[in-house]
Copies of this chain bind each other. A is one copy, B any other.
Amino acid sequence: MTNSYAPDAGTLMDIFRRMALLKGNDERSRKLLATGRVVAPYYSYRGQEVIPSSVSAALRDDDYICTIYRGIHDMLAKGMPLKQLWAEVAGREDGTCKGKGGPMHLTYPAKGIMVTTGIVGSSMPIANGLAWGSQLDGNDRVTVAYFGDGASNIGAFHEALNLAAVWKLPVVFVCQNNRYGEHTAYATATSAKRIADRAVGYDIPGVRVDGNDPHAMYAAAAEAIARARGGEGPTLIEAMTFRFHGHVMGDADGYMDKAEKQAAIAADPYPRFRAQLIADNVADEATLAKIEADVEAAIDEAVEFALASPFPSTDELRRDVFADDSIVPEESFA
């Protein structure tokens, strides 16, 4: 990593703004879901905000991402509108997917959010196809595939990285290494000392970076994105982070190492970055507080919008199965 990819003040503020939105949204999600007013499986990303905030600060609006069930942070950072997001999480007609996909399959092509998958590893092979399309289009769009540390052990990871390398695709593989895959700790499942080491097997750059440090994370992402945009092929980034909550809301997380968890929470990247921005004179308290207040207001509005949106009609069961709705066999519903 050279310094030429160090974020400037404007970029740092851009990252902060995204982080504030992500953190606020996670907190609200957990709060609201706890009330039962919205029923959905929820995979908290609290603690991992720096990664997509920094990556997205280095991406263009017309770049693509593919992400996973634990990916609302990735999507919000890429520009998914809050209202439609919340409407989808609440299963409403105004959701991005009319309520049909739900939080695990949020999609929003207008901002390049192309696929959200619930199958471990599957974001990567599809990301390659988007990148192949961009390569053919001759535009210089980049695709980011997000995935977890656990996903680095599944076949799709390997097949995707190899193909991307052989075809020199403009894709960046961003592994959010939060040290757990469901209840299983890193070393129980993963043989590699560092996931970044696996890049050697594909003859592509592999970088392990502190995914909780916006400076380092941004630099790593910006460099990889520049390589991809410049036709130099894929990069594997292993972004070290930590999942503050259990795998899925409701899980007791008894399997997590208590000390490790406490230490991670004590080192929460959000207040750390916030304090640093002030210390470095990038922003003052009032500016940051204003950003946070705006986030809260926007979330208020989005939640209200979502809960006011009607549920979809059951006719939707027959729609979008095929492009032509009339093909769906009538009698399947008899």
Give A contacts to B, CB under 8 Å.
153-159, 161-162, 165-166, 187-193, 197-198, 200-204
Contacts and interface: CB of A to CB of B under 8 A. Distances in A.
Nearest to A192: B201
Contacts of A201: 191-192, 197-198, 200-201
Nearest 4 Cβ contacts at the A-B interface: A155-B155, A158-B158, A165-B191, A198-B201
B203 A200 contact: no
A157 B162 CA distance: 12
29 contacts: A153-B162, A154-B155, A154-B158, A154-B159, A155-B155, A155-B156, A155-B158, A155-B159, A157-B158, A158-B158, A158-B159, A161-B191, A162-B190, A166-B187, A166-B189, A166-B190, A166-B191, A191-B201, A191-B202, A191-B204, A192-B200, A192-B202, A192-B203, A197-B200, A197-B201, A197-B203, A198-B201, A200-B201, A201-B201
A190 B162 CA distance: 7
A236 B166 CA distance: 22
A153 B167 CA distance: 14
- A contacts with B: majority SS: helix
Contacts of A191: 161-162, 165-166, 201-204
Contacts of A165: 191
Nearest to A189: B166
Contacts of A158: 153-155, 157-159
A152 B177 CA distance: 25
Contacts of A166: 187-191
Nearest to A201: B198
Contacts of A200: 192, 197-198, 200-201
Nearest to A125: B155
A157 B202 CA distance: 14
Nearest to A155: B155
Contacts of A192: 162, 200-203
A239 B249 CA distance: 49
A154 B188 CA distance: 23
Contacts of A190: 162, 166
Which of A166, A193, A201 has the largest count of B CB atoms less than 10 A from its CB? A201
Nearest to A187: B166
Nearest to A204: B191
Contacts of A193: 203
A105 B123 CA distance: 34
A198 B158 CA distance: 10
A240 to B, nearest CB: 17
Contacts of A197: 200-201, 203
